[in-house]
Amino acid sequence: MILYNNTKGECELKTGYFVTGFPGFLSEQLLKEWISGSVSKSIYLLVMPSMQKQASERLEELKKINESQSVFHIVQGDITKPDMGMTHSASAYLKDKIHYVWHLAAVYDLAVPKSTAFQVNVTGTHHVNEWVRTLPNIKRYVYFSTAYVAGKRNGVIKETELIRPEAFRNHYEHSKFEAEVLVEKMKSEVPVTIIRPAIVKGSTKSGDTTKFDGPYYLMNIIDKVKSIPVIPYMGKSSAKLNVVPYDYVIQAANYLAHLPEGEGKTYHLTDPYPYPAREVYRFIMQEQAGRTPSFTMPVKAVQLTLSIPYVRKYIKAEKEGLDYFFWEAEFDQSQAEEDLRQSGIECPDFVKAIPSMVRFYEENKHDKRFHRKIK
């Protein structure tokens, strides 16, 4: 059922875009990227019934900055169901109108239970794939994976490979790997582009985000320990922490999805010059608290501390996130860099954006809407 249309009429000549995952953070940023341009689009947003009110409210806000005069439509559905939960009439109506499918819907939670992760990320992707196969005018199927489908592999991780690791750190990684396997097989049937972002943070300039997770867990920890007499490093490691701002991810993905050379490729949207996790912690500590860690707390002690539910809830950090501070692997993004070369789109330096991250965090740290529920 198509429930929302922001215009009285629709130009049939508009390019049709179908997006899953709205009103999620990245999908909303993608819409902002599209409507800031000059090309008008017909944008169909698959929205779960429980999210319909929130989606409509977000679209009303987007209408105010819709420079492209694109047309928005809410399509009620659920990717965990066959035909993505759409009515037969809605599915049939859309098939001839869709040229680009962007599949961003997923459970982005390192502590997610296995059943939920696989139902949404794997079964859901299977249902999206099945529908995409029926689209006669499809120009590109864009799937948002994650660079962490590499699991516990070490060494250099390449864009051109999808190797099953010996183990995964969590059900999120595992489910996203299995989902990407399904989409990878689609490359022989439809024009596919797979996007593998690193850990995504807020805007390069403003630092704005909607959830304090990923590197923001560090800020939660620092906020709690900044007043103690001596502050420790969390374990000793030379591993690098790969974090990219959402504006880089969205701009790069949008460019590559429309690039003829992007068909059939997988891209790492990762930082080519990541900083060691230990340095990231120190840089944020200095900016946020004006202090420097003075000793190293053994990693086992950190793990034990974060295994206590009360402690996790108090400092607002998931223990699963700690694993990425000790992962000895590097992403090769040469394919993305080569195809982005003419666009002028580059991943900005992480450290230079720390002041804006900290400023936004300090302004919003008491707002519960920004914090994930810690178990």
Domains of the chain: 2-200+243-269 (3.40.50.720), 205-241+275-329+351-365 (no CATH)
pLDDT of 6: 57
CB 74 within 8 A of CB 47: yes
Q: What is the pLDDT of residue 8?
A: 44
Q: Model pTM?
A: 0.94
Task: Average pLDDT across each block of 10 residues of the chain; the chain has 375 residues. List them in order.
Answer: 52 84 97 92 97 96 91 97 97 97 96 97 99 98 98 97 98 99 98 98 93 92 94 92 97 98 99 96 96 94 92 91 91 98 97 97 95 88
Dihedral in degrees, nearest 10, Cα atoms 321, 270, 346, 29: -60
Q: What is the pLDDT of residue 2?
A: 56
pLDDT value, residue 1: 55
> Collapsing DSSP states into helix, strand and coil, what is residue 220?
helix
* pLDDT computed for residue 321 by the predictor: 87
Task: Give me the DSSP letters along 262-300.
Answer: GTTEEEEE--SSPEEHHHHHHHHHHHHHS----EEE-HH
